[in-house]
Amino acid sequence: MKISFELDAEFREDQGKGASRRLRYLGKVPAILYGGRRDARSLVIDHTKLAQLMDNERFYSTILALKVGSSQQAAVLKDVQRHPYRNRIVHVDFQRVLEDEKIRMRVPLHFKGGAEAKGVKEQGGVLGHVRNDVEVLCLPKDLPEFVEVDVSGLAINEVVKLSGLRLPAGVELVDLLAGRDGPVASIHMPRVEEEEAPVVDEAAAAAAAAGAAPGAAPVPGAPGAPGAPGAAPATGAAAPAAGAAAPAADAKGAAKGGKDARKGDGKK
């Protein structure tokens, strides 16, 4: 059985949420080890060391060695719980591995030949990945680190399915065992986004249409219309006569003069 990583751990006896919070405060991660026809055991692992190992993609799909004191147990990572917004690992689950017992693991897909594919290089298509990993069933000695997907022979609108993957000896796909044969990758034409129609100012369009029509009445408020800012006065419009108020003024003066004359006659 090939061991890819080693991880130090300790058994823990304290249980409950309070004990787990204290461990996290001290930079530790609560964990559990189960399976292998044995009872589950609670563990505690150093957060810094675990986080460093989990930066490696292979850590999720290979066999680990959990070292507790002088003993060592082969295991695989089955579940990781992370803090919703902090960069913290909250809890991890490990499953014991026995050499004669098959295990189910999710392994990543590695795609190759995308740039050379006929559908991309000659037909202008785009390679799309429908899924990035698969679940396999096999003995620990046959567990692959990844499954390779060759898409170099794909043309436009062609698809690679689970049944078309080349698997190592002794490895089976869980989906195919359950009768599910789904797509893995495909090449399709790129989507073309429709250009949005320019927004037209209805008032400006109406004014332009009205000005273009022969003999049309000007639109109130439109540029150049009477009363619009900057509009020139209409040619030939009747301007107020300079002497229009003069007759009224003369009549008033004449009436006043007559009244004074009558007063003078009376005094005499």
Domain boundaries, the chain: 5-98, 104-188
Record the tokens describing residue 247, joined without a space: 């007759």
- Residues 176-189 pLDDT 10s: 999 999 999 999 88
Please choose, from the candidates 9, 37, 152, 160, the residue with its C-alpha nearest in 3D space to the C-alpha of residue 93.
9
Give the SS3 label for residue 17: helix
CB of 179 within 8 A of CB of 120? no
Give residue 197's pLDDT: 55
Residues 16-35: pLDDT tens digits? 788 888 888 889 999 999 99
State the pairing for strand pair 64-68/71-82: antiparallel
State the Cα–Cα distance between residues 139 and 146, nearest whole angstrom: 15
- Extended strands (E) in 121-209: 126-129, 133-138, 147-150, 159-161, 172-173, 183-188
Are the beta carbons of 167 and 147 closer than 8 angstroms? yes
Q: Does CATH number 2.170.120.20 belong to domain 104-188?
A: yes
Lowest mean pLDDT among 41-55, 100-114, 252-266: 252-266
Residue partners of 61: CB distance under 8 A and separation at least 6? 105, 106, 107, 108, 143, 144, 145, 146
Taking the C-alpha atoms of residue 63 and residue 76, their distance in angstroms, rounded to an integer, is 5
**φ, ψ of residue 80 in degrees (nearest 5):** -130, 130
Please give the biggest Cα pair distance in the chain: 153
pLDDT above 80 for 262: no
Reference 149, options 104, 186, 190, 106; nearest CA is 186
- Return the DSSP state at 141: G
| CATH for the stretch 5-98 | 2.40.240.10
Question: For 205-227, what is each residue's pLDDT tens digit?
Answer: 666 666 655 555 555 555 555 55
